């Protein structure tokens, strides 16, 4: 006889039952490559006594990324937020920049930190990415650029955005924090717009603890960003530009190199997990797993559910609460949307009126754990639990009232 994850609703942890998992399952559990190789690299750093400032591992990491992406320039940085700030500043952006509100707050903050006004644009509900048709309506005489975000690693509507930027003479930057290892029409993400910025934060499938990279095919822009990420130094005692400290350190680069050695395994594991979720969630009413274009390269690092409450009878937030009590730490990225967070909420109190799709989506999506820490059995149990919640949705709702 098959043992059910929860035989009846009284066994749910939210109603006092034992949690399904003894240890928490996390959405952003870091992937760690070959530890022996990593330790060897760490020891080499300690032996060399060269810890940061454009050391050999950072240089090797940059060259490996350039080769992997088929791009001219990679500049490793201490995190993607600083990477975005450097890029935006190096491109001389001022005034207004059009950006989605459905993104991690860093995208908006990178602009506002430099006194640039983020103008929030609604998304296309089919792709969760900035809607190019709505971008055009937001252009004013003060607009200087567009920052697109490849949400979940699914590329923005590239051709349309490139076309608008060219016609309107706007700079085009992509926040590619989610999209390392993804492609668009066979070209790796990183090669589009004026520059693209990746995040290698611990929660990303390829991580350098904290870290990021700016990539571009523009020689002048790359040279300028290289200066700016190192206080504007051009050789000893010679500062020729305003700058900041955006440098990646050697330990981060060693972690990144070890991750790159194992990147195919990470992607393969994410791919298997994705299909495992797809097989197990199929047929649960109101639960849709978002799709990836399998013809393209993709990192499959986000398992994203689109929840239709009309069919599940329980809201996304109730499902989230139940899962958390069972030690499944699902997330509702990017709730409640940048426009509903400070300082933007006070600056643009009416913004929600222009962002109906963003408002809807932030209430519907739920992100589930994946990566090398997840196995097929756990994924099966998570999906069975979700099926159980939906099947008993009305009863659960009543009991929670
Ligand atoms: N643009 C976009 C579109 C982004 O998504 C991000 C970052 C950025 C720009 C900026 O990139 P960085 O400047 O960070 O390079 C996390 C990350 O901190 C953030 O990097 C990421 N996006 C965002 C989507 O997620 P939180 O607030 O969810 O982090 P936290 O601490 O709640 O961790 C998430 C889960 O991962 C938890 O269940 C705990 C687990 N975890 C986390 C860490 C750090 C681990 O198991 N081990 C760990 O070491 O923001």
- Cα–Cα distance for residue pair 192/327, rounded to 1 Å: 40
Task: Give the pLDDT of residue 77.
Answer: 99
DSSP annotation of 248 reads P
Q: Is 117 helix (H, G, I), strand (E, B) or coil?
A: strand
Distance 30 CA to ligand 1 centre (A): 10
Distance 315 CA to ligand 1 centre (A): 24
The pair of structure tokens assigned to 397 is 């709702």
Distance 134 CA to ligand 1 centre (A): 29
Whole-number Cα distances in Å, 116 to 85, 143, 354: 11, 10, 20
Instruction: State which of 27, 28, 206 you would mutate to test the pocket of ligand 1, scoring each by most atoms of that ligand within 8 A of its C-beta.
Output: 28
Other C-beta atoms closer than 10 Å to the C-beta of 400 total: 12
Taking the domains of the chain in order of start, what are their residue ranges?
9-29+263-330+369-400, 35-261
* pTM, 2 dp: 0.97
- Cα–Cα distance for residue pair 349/8, rounded to 1 Å: 44
The pair of structure tokens assigned to 62 is 């940059």
Q: Is 328 helix (H, G, I), strand (E, B) or coil?
A: strand
Task: Give the pLDDT of residue 7.
Answer: 78
Residues 6 or more apart whose CB falls under 8 angstroms from that of 312 comprise 285, 286, 287, 319, 389, 390, 393
Q: Give the position, in ligand 1's atom list, of the atom nearest the Cα of 201.
A: 15
Whole-number Cα distances in Å, 185 to 70, 192, 203, 279, 293: 14, 12, 27, 27, 10
Distance 15 CA to ligand 1 centre (A): 30
**Domain 9-29+263-330+369-400 matches domain 35-261 at the CATH topology level:** no
The highest-level CATH class for domain 9-29+263-330+369-400 is: alpha beta
Which residue from 196, 184, 211 is spatially nearest to 148, judged by alpha carbons? 196
Pairing of strands 212-216, 73-77: antiparallel
Bridge partners (DSSP) listed for residue 214? 75, 197
Pairing of strands 25-26, 328-329: parallel
Distance 189 CA to ligand 1 centre (A): 21
The pair of structure tokens assigned to 390 is 């939906």
Task: List average pLDDT for each run of 10 residues in the chain, which is 401 residues long.
Answer: 74 96 96 97 98 98 98 98 98 98 98 98 98 97 98 98 98 98 98 98 98 98 98 96 98 98 98 98 96 98 97 96 98 97 98 98 98 96 97 94 88
Residues 6 or more apart whose CB falls under 8 angstroms from that of 231 comprise 239, 243, 244, 245
Other C-beta atoms closer than 10 Å to the C-beta of 115 total: 8
Report the chain's terminal Cα–Cα distance, integer Å: 34
Instruction: State which of 189, 200, 201, 334 you would mutate to test the pocket of ligand 1, scoring each by most atoms of that ligand within 8 A of its C-beta.
Output: 201
Distance 247 CA to ligand 1 centre (A): 20
Task: Give the pLDDT of residue 36.
Answer: 98
Residues found in the chain: 401
Which residue from 46, 15, 3, 50 is spatially nearest to 398, judged by alpha carbons? 15
Ligand 1 proximal residues by C-beta, below 6 Å: 26-30, 79-81, 103-104, 106-107, 149, 175, 177-178, 199, 201-203, 212, 329, 333
Contact 28, 22 (CB under 8 A): no
Protein residue with its CA nearest to atom 20 in ligand 1: 201
Of the chain, the percentage scoring pLDDT greater than 90 comes to: 98
Distance 265 CA to ligand 1 centre (A): 21
Fold held by 35-261 = 3.40.640
- Cα–Cα distance for residue pair 145/94, rounded to 1 Å: 8
């Amino acid at each position: 006889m098959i043992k059910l994850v929860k035989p009846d609703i009284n066994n749910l942890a939210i109603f006092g039952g034992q949690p399904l998992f003894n240890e928490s399952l996390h959405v952003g559990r870091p992937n760690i490559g070959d530890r022996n190789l990593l330790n060897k690299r760490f020891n080499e750093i300690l032996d060399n006594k060269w810890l940061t400032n454009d050391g050999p591992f950072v240089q090797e990491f940059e060259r490996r990324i350039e080769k992997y992406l088929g791009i001219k320039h990679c500049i490793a940085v201490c995190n993607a937020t600083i990477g975005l700030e450097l890029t935006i500043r190096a491109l001389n952006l001022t005034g207004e920049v059009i950006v989605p509100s459905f993104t991690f707050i860093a995208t908006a903050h990178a602009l506002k930190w430099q006194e640039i006004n983020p103008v929030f644009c609604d998304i296309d509900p089919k792709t969760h990415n900035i809607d190019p048709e709505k971008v055009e309506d937001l252009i004013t005489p003060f607009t200087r650029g567009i920052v697109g975000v490849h949400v979940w690693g699914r590329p923005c509507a590239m051709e349309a955005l490139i076309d608008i930027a060219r016609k309107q003479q706007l700079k085009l930057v992509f926040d590619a924090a989610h999209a390392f290892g993804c492609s668009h029409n066979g070209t790796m993400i990183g090669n589009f717009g004026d520059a693209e910025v990746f995040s290698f934060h611990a929660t990303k499938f390829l991580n350098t603890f904290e870290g990021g990279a700016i990539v571009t095919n523009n020689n002048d822009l790359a040279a300028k960003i290289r200066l700016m990420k190192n206080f504007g130094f051009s050789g000893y005692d010679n500062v020729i530009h305003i700058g900041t400290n955006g440098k990646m350190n050697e330990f981060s680069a060693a972690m990144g190199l070890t991750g790159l050695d194992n990147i195919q395994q990470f992607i393969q594991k994410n791919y298997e997990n994705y299909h495992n979720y797809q097989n197990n969630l199929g047929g649960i009413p109101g639960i849709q797993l978002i799709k990836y274009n399998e013809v393209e390269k993709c990192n499959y690092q986000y398992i994203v559910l689109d929840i239709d409450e009309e069919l599940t009878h329980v809201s996304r937030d109730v499902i989230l609460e139940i899962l958390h009590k069972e030690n499944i730490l699902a997330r509702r990225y990017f709730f409640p949307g940048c426009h509903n967070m400070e300082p933007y909420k006070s600056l643009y109190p009416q913004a929600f009126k222009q962002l109906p799709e963003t408002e809807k989506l932030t209430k519907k999506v739920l992100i589930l754990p994946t990566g090398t820490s997840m196995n097929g059995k756990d994924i099966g149990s998570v999906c069975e639990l979700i099926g159980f919640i939906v099947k008993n949705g009305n009863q659960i709702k009543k009991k929670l009232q």
